[in-house]
Chain A
Amino acid sequence: MFTKYHPTKGEMLQILSPEGKIINTKFQPEISTEKVLQAYKLMVYTRTVDLKTVSYQRQGRMYTYAPNFGQEASMIGTGFHMNQEDWLVPSYREMGAFFHRGVTPTDIWLYWGGHEDGAKFPKATNTLPISVPIASQIIHAAGIGYGLKLQKQKGIVYTYFGDGGTSEGDFHAGLNFASVWKAPVIFICQNNQYAISLRQEKQMASSNIAIKSLAYGMPGIQVDGNDFFACYSATQKAAQHIEEGKGPVLIEALTYRRGAHTTADDPSRYRSKEEEKIWEEKDPILRLKRYLVAQKLWSEEDDTKLTQQYEEEVEAEFLEYEKYPPYELNDVFQYLYNTMPDDLVKQKQEYEKYLAWKESRS
C-alpha cells in the first residue's frame, strides 16, 4: 500500500466513493461487519454530541468550542483502530477518537465549559488531554513511543494534528525523533484544508502533506479522510509496519471542517458557500450510511431511531453535567504541586481574608 500510494505519485487512497460504493477492493481493510456498524454508530454519536455542544454554546451554556463536524471518518477511521494498550495523543479536534477511548461527553463539556476536571478522563486510559499549543503534542508522542519501546511495553501511539500544525518546528522535531528512534508512533494529520482562515496552499508549498514523511525516512500516505475504510485500512497497515519494528508512519487524512474553526469564528470571511456545498456531498457519515444501506446492513429507519436515541441520551447527560459541583477556591491551588509551597498557602489565606472582609461589608 505504501508503495502503490507513494506520496510522490500524488495519488490518494480511496476505497469508498462518495456514493457509497466500494471502488477499490484490493486495499479493503480487514474489519468485521459488526465493527463497521459499531464505528458508524460512533460517528453518528460523535456528530450528535458535536452539534448539540455547538447549540449549547449558542444558548450560553458552554464557552467557546471547536466543532468536529465533517471530520468524523478521519478521526474515527484512524482512531477506531486503537486497542486498550495504545495511546491517544490528541490536539483538540478528535472527539470521536476520545469517545473510542472511553472519554465521556461530560469530560468534553467540562473542558470546553471551563473546568480543569475535563482534562482528567477518569474512565479512559492512555489518553492525553487536549493540547492547545499547536503541534506541541507531536513531540510528546515521540517521547511516549520511546518510553514504550525502552520498557518493552506493548502499544502504539496515535497522535493527531492539523494541516496548520505541520508548519511548526515541533512537527519536524516530533517526526525526526520518532524516526531516529524507530518509535511506535502513527502521526495522523487531519488535513481539513484550513488553519482558521488560512488555506493549505498558503500554509505550505509542498503538493501534499504525506510527502513530508520522506524527509524522515518513514512511509507516508494520503488517504481520503471522508472515507472510513481508507482511513481504517491505512491505519491498519501503519500498525503492521510498526509491529514489524520498522518505525513510525505518517498518514494524511484529507477532509473538510464543515463547521466553524471555533464557535467564535465566521467561515464566510474566508470560504465560499459553493465550496461548503461540495463538501457536504462528500460527507463521511452520509457516505458510510449509503454503503451500509446498500449492503442491507442498515436502513433509514434504523438511522432515525439511532439519532433520536442519541439525542435523548446526550440531552439527559448534559442536564446532569450542568449539576456539576461548583468550582472552589482550593481547585485553583491544590493540583499545582504535590505539596503546596508556603507562598501559595499564604496567597490562598490572604484571599480568604479578603472574602471575609467582603462578607463583613455586605
Chain B
Amino acid sequence: MTLMNMVQSINSALDIKLEEDPKVLSFGEDAGLEGGVFRVTENLQKKHGEERVFDTPLSEAGIIGSAVGMCMTGLRPVAEIQFSGFVYPAYDHIISHAARMHNRTRGRYDMSMVIRMPYGGGIKAIEHHSESMETLFAHVPGLKVVIPSTPYDAKGLLISSIESDDPIIYMEPKRLYRAMKQEVPDGKFQIDIGKAKIVQEGSDITVVSYGAMMKEAREAAILAQKEGYSVELIDLRTIYPLDRKTVAESIRKTGRLLSVTEGPSFSGIGSELVTLANEEAFLSLEAPPTRLAGFDTIVPLPKGEHFYFHTADRILYEVEKLVKY
C-alpha cells in the first residue's frame, strides 16, 4: 500500500499494464517526454521506451484513428486526449469506427482501446477546459464509459479498462487529480466495470453521483446528517453500462432519488437515473425522482464558474426539498 493521489494511481495502473503486457501502449499529445500536461504519464517513457510510450503529432483524429488500426493488429492502445474539450476532431473515429467495428465485423476485430481524458471543471481554466460531456459518449452504442472518483477506484478501474476487449472511454475528473490521497495497493487489482459502489448507507434518500461531483456529494451527505436526513450515497463509477440493480434497490429502500451530475441537464445521465427510478421503483417512491445537473448553458469562464458548479449546500437544498416533500 502507498498513499497516492489520482495522478499517481493512474500512473501506477499504466505502469503495471505496460510492464505486464507488451501489447499495451500509451500515447497522446505531450504524453511521452513531458509525461502529459497533468504529469499522469510521467516517467513511463523513460521506463518503457519511446516505441510504446510516445508523443503524437497534434491531431486527435490521428490519435484515435490510428488506435483503431493498432487494435486490428492486436495491440491494446491507451490513448490520451489532452482535455475532453479537444476530443471532437476524434469523435468521428470514436463513433463511426471504434464503437462499431466489433459489431460490423461480427466480432472479428476487438477494439481493445482505452481513451483517457481529463474532464470537468473547477480549475479556473479558459474555454473548452471545463466541460463534462460524458453523455456524448454514454449515448453511443458500443462504448463503455468509466469515471472514477477516488485514487483507489481510478487504479482498479483503469486496469480493468485496459484488460477489456471493448473500447472504453475513461474520463478523469481533473479537479480531483490531486485533491486527495488514499492508500492504494502497489500491485495489480481490478474493479469491475459496470458496478456502482454504495459509499454511505442511509434511509431517507438515495443520492447518485460520480466523478468530480462525488466530492460535493460526500460533503452534502455530512451536512444532511447534521440536519437529520439520512443519505444513501452511490458512486456510479461506470456510467455505461449502468448498474441498474444497485441503484434500483437503493431507491426502493429510501423511496427518493436525487442524481447529482456536473454537465448540462438536458438528455443527461440524470435523465437516465430518473427514468430508472420510474421503471424499477415506481411503487416505492415518496417524492419525484429528481436530477440536479448543470445549467443548459456553456460553462462560464472562471469569473462566473461558481454559478455553474454545484456546491455541497446546493445539493443539501435539493435533498431537503425531497425529504420534506
Contacts and interface: CB of A to CB of B under 8 A. Distances in A.
Contacts of B300: 116, 327, 331-332
Contacts of A115: 301, 303-304
A29 to B, nearest CB: 32
Interface string B35-78: 00100000000000000000101111110000000000000000
Interface stretch (A46-54, A161-169, A210-218, A250-258): A161-169
Contact of A164 (B58, B61, B317): B58
B298 A63 contact: no
A64 interface: yes
Interface stretch (A95-103, A120-128, A351-359): A351-359
A167 B55 contact: no
B317 A168 contact: no
A308 interface: no
| Contact residues of B: prevailing secondary structure | loop
A170 interface: yes
Given A327-B304, A358-B317, A132 B126 contact: yes
Interface in B172-186: none
A63 B296 contact: no
Interface residues of A, number: 44
**Best-buried of B57, B62, B85, B89 by chain A (most CB within 10 Å):** B57
Given A63-B125, A197-B30, A269-B34, A133 B297 contact: no
A198 interface: yes
Nearest to B59: A167
A343 interface: yes
Contact of B88 (A133, A167, A326, A358): A133
Nearest to A197: B34
A197 B125 contact: no
Contacts of B303: 113-115, 326-327
A331 B305 CA distance: 11
B203 to A, nearest CB: 24
B286 to A, nearest CB: 21
Given A63-B125, A169-B61, A197-B55, A332 B88 contact: no
Given A113-B303, A169-B59, A358-B317, A343 B29 contact: no
B295 A333 contact: yes
B126 A112 contact: yes
B314 interface: yes
A294 interface: no
A344 B297 contact: yes
A355 to B, nearest CB: 10
Nearest to A341: B296
Interface string B119-138: 00000111111000000000
A9 interface: no
Nearest to B92: A169
Contacts of B129: 132
B302 A357 contact: no
Contacts of B302: 63, 113-114
Interface in A235-290: 264-265, 269-270
B33 interface: yes
A74 to B, nearest CB: 19
Contacts of A336: 297-298
A165 B296 CA distance: 31
A196 B86 contact: no
A241 to B, nearest CB: 28
A132 B128 contact: yes
A319 B210 CA distance: 41
Nearest to B125: A64
Given A134-B58, A202-B57, A344 B301 contact: no
Contacts of A204: 57
A331 B297 CA distance: 11
Contacts of B126: 63-64, 111-112, 114, 132
A332 B297 contact: yes
Contacts of B29: 195-196, 198
Interface string A163-207: 011011110000000000000000000000001111000111000
A230 B60 CA distance: 34
A84 interface: no
**Best-buried of A198, A326, A331, A336 by chain B (most CB within 10 Å):** A198
B265 interface: yes
**Best-buried of A134, A329, A336 by chain B (most CB within 10 Å):** A134
Contacts of B297: 332-333, 336, 344, 347
A198 B55 contact: yes
Contact of B307 (A197, A202, A329, A358): A329
Given A114-B301, A329-B307, A168 B34 contact: no
Given A204-B57, A270-B33, A332 B304 contact: yes
Nearest to A204: B57
Contacts of A264: 37
Contact of A116 (B59, B60, B301): B301
Question: Closest 7 A-B residue pairs measured CB to CB?
Answer: A114-B302, A197-B34, A164-B58, A167-B57, A327-B304, A114-B303, A327-B303
27 contacts: A63-B126, A64-B124, A64-B126, A111-B301, A112-B126, A113-B303, A116-B300, A116-B301, A130-B127, A132-B127, A132-B128, A133-B86, A133-B88, A133-B89, A168-B89, A197-B55, A198-B57, A203-B57, A270-B34, A332-B307, A333-B295, A336-B297, A344-B296, A347-B265, A348-B295, A351-B307, A357-B317
Given A336-B297, A344-B295, 4 more contacts: A64-B126, A112-B126, A130-B127, A169-B61
Interface of B: 29-30, 33-34, 37, 55, 57-62, 85-86, 88-89, 124-129, 265-266, 295-298, 300-305, 307-308, 313-314, 317
